Amino acid sequence: MCGKPFGEGSFRDILIGEDPLCESCRSGWIRRRRKFDIEGIPAEGTYLYEEHFSSCLIQFKECCDEALKDVFLFEEKKRLQRKYRGCTICLMPSSAEKEKERGFHHLRLMYACTGLPMLEPFVRLSDTVQKKRTGKERRKMEGEIVLKDGIILPEKILLCDDVITTGATIRGALKAIGKGNHKIRIYSVSLHKSWYL
């Protein structure tokens, strides 16, 4: 993340050495696990979304720095593997345009280290679709999330995102899933400070 040669900053990096993030970068992150619920569905997150975490996320997402893919879940992957065994990770959609620019779905890279099965069942209704609608309809549908055609959802679903801000995306996904017999859980690597109040 910082570009310093590994081990230059601390002995811990040489001795433990498995964390792809160096100690000084890691120490900037605020690890504060939090459980809550969204629409009655159990949710949890690990890091407070603040400037150190967000700059790392931006470097990964917007600068396409794929080398950072394993830093986000390094401290949680084993616990997540155990806790959510049997679940299928369902990734939150990014806008299709962004993904095309980037050439990859950043969440897929981020969550690959958990070893859990993964699905991208959602699409966010794109601007191109919305342009065909009237102004009023468009506003109503803005950012609406729907299931992809022909998707069959697994029984146990773990909705995953990189950051939960207002929770609107998660609520959109829950709405898209609708009522059924799914067992749903929510996990996000980071949470906006409002979830800690």
Residues in contact with Zn ion by the rule CB under 5 A: 1-2, 22, 25
| 125/130 Cα distance (integer angstroms) | 7
Return the residue matching tokens 């191109």. 128
Is the CB of 22 or the CB of 123 nearer to Zn ion? 22
Distance in Å from the first CA to the final CA of the chain: 30
> Closest separation between CB of residue 49 and Zn ion, Å?
19
Classify each residue of 51-82 as buried b or exposed e, where b means 16 or more C-beta atoms within 10 Å of its C-beta: ebbeebbeebbeeeeeebbbbbbeebbeebee
Q: What does the CA dihedral 103, 151, 79, 168 come to, rounded to 10 degrees?
A: 80
Is the CB of 53 or the CB of 195 nearer to Zn ion? 53
Is the CB of 1 or the CB of 73 nearer to Zn ion? 1
Is the CB of 1 or the CB of 116 nearer to Zn ion? 1
Is the CB of 18 or the CB of 149 nearer to Zn ion? 18
Token pair for 48 = 């407070």
Token pair for 56 = 């790392």
> Closest separation between CB of residue 113 and Zn ion, Å?
19
Is the CB of 21 or the CB of 92 nearer to Zn ion? 21
> Closest separation between CB of residue 6 and Zn ion, Å?
8
- Bridge partners, residue 104, by sequence: none
Instruction: Report the sign of the C-alpha dihedral through residues 189, 190, 195, 196, in that order.
Output: positive
- Between the alpha carbon of residue 146 and those of residues 55, 165, 191, the distances in Å are 30, 20, 23
